[in-house]
Amino acid sequence: MSDFIFVVGAPKSGTFYLHELFNSSADITVSKMKEPNYFVNAVFNAEGMKYCKSEEEYFLQYSENDSNFFSDCSPSYLRCKESPALIKDFCRKHNFNPKIIIMLREPVSRAYSNWKMDVRQGHQKMEFLEALFNDHSSNDSKMHIQYEYFKSGNYYSQVKAYLDVFGTENVLINISERTKGNKSLFVENVSNFLGIKLDTLEVDTNQDVEPKNFLIKELYYSKLFRRLQRAILSDSHKEFLRSKLFKAAKSKPLSELEREKAKELFKEDVARLKELIGDSLAEWMYE
């Protein structure tokens, strides 16, 4: 019987690379749906989220074989406070030994990347700082696919929930900035954590893209077309379509003033996270 790897987030922090890395390994079977989102479906049903609606549908994501692990890469699991308990109950029920991988990226950079994606996809018309402060001040506890600029980067309570439920020995926390330029070190850390040999994979995971022209943008992001995509297209078909209709995007970096204003929102949470995981997080430069 295979055990389970759960890559639980954070969004825009390198989870896609792990999905592709695991997909290249004979020891791991990845889900047919890139993000099954099964362990949030009872709590969240955000527009645009595809998710498995039953345990039977969830198990159909994994073909029968002799691999050592099944892998579920769903970044929504970090943001959803009920996910750790749902995952634990599922694994206990089926006698699985869960391994949890959490990818963390400096929260302002993560939020800015999320915002740029939302702007390109036609979801967001606010400027970055306005959108960030709007999410920060919102009392809406429901998770949203878009607009999660502050809440998805408020890591302390999210990480603590997984450490409390699964213990430090079953949770690997990776700091994206630390391993971004050293994929071999990252893959070695993941290999040691799982007890299997993984080979470094060269994958371009952070390319910003946008529709090739205004007409494609209006069509691709219309509500009708988005519903049709979700209803009839697989993940691989959607990726193929995007490769034909999109081009590399041009975007300006955050100014230092904008970045410092944004960092103020996260400073307290980052300080608590440092203490929780016993890490200086020096790469993030929050002093």
Q: What would the mean pLDDT of 129-148 be, rounded to a whole number?
A: 86
Give me the pLDDT at residue 203, please.
67
Q: What would the mean pLDDT of 252-256 be, rounded to a whole number?
A: 88
Give me the pLDDT at residue 151, please.
94
Name the pLDDT band for 242 (thresholds 50, 70, 90): confident
Give me the pLDDT at residue 209, please.
66
Q: Any idea which of 56-65, 234-243, 264-273 has the lowest mean pLDDT?
A: 234-243
pLDDT digits (tens, 9 = 90+) for 169-217: 999 999 999 988 888 999 999 999 999 999 988 765 555 667 777 787 7
pLDDT digits (tens, 9 = 90+) for 56-77: 999 999 977 668 899 999 999 9
The DSSP output letter for 204 is: -
Which residue segment(s) compose the domain that 10 sits in? 3-107+154-205+268-284
Name the pLDDT band for 129 (thresholds 50, 70, 90): very high
**Assigned domain for 161 exists:** yes
Total domains in the chain come to 1
**Assigned domain for 182 exists:** yes
**Assigned domain for 139 exists:** no
Give me the pLDDT at residue 249, please.
66
Average pLDDT of the chain, as a whole number: 87
- What is the chain's length? 287
Of the chain, the percentage scoring pLDDT greater than 70 comes to 88
Write phi, then psi, for 62 (nearest 5 degrees).
-125, 120
Name the pLDDT band for 47 (thresholds 50, 70, 90): low
Q: What would the mean pLDDT of 76-103 be, rounded to a whole number?
A: 95
**Assigned domain for 175 exists:** yes
Can you give the CATH number for the domain in which 180 is found? Answer: 3.40.50.300
**Strand partners for 210:** 247
* Strand arrangement of the beta sheet that strand 3-7 belongs to: 28-30, 69-73, 3-7, 99-104, 171-175
**Assigned domain for 249 exists:** no
Looking at the predicted structure, is the pLDDT value of residue 88 above 90?
Answer: yes
Name the pLDDT band for 149 (thresholds 50, 70, 90): very high
Q: At residue 85, what is the residue type?
A: A
Structure-token pair, residue 169: 């020995």
**Assigned domain for 192 exists:** yes
Give me the pLDDT at residue 187, please.
95
**Assigned domain for 97 exists:** yes
Give me the pLDDT at residue 8, please.
96
**Assigned domain for 130 exists:** no
Give me the pLDDT at residue 78, please.
95
pTM, rounded to two decimals: 0.86
Looking at the predicted structure, is the pLDDT value of residue 43 above 70?
Answer: no
Sign of CA dihedral 100, 160, 156, 128: positive
Q: What would the mean pLDDT of 17-45 be, rounded to a whole number?
A: 87
Q: What would the mean pLDDT of 123-135 be, rounded to a whole number?
A: 92
Looking at the predicted structure, is the pLDDT value of residue 237 above 80?
Answer: no
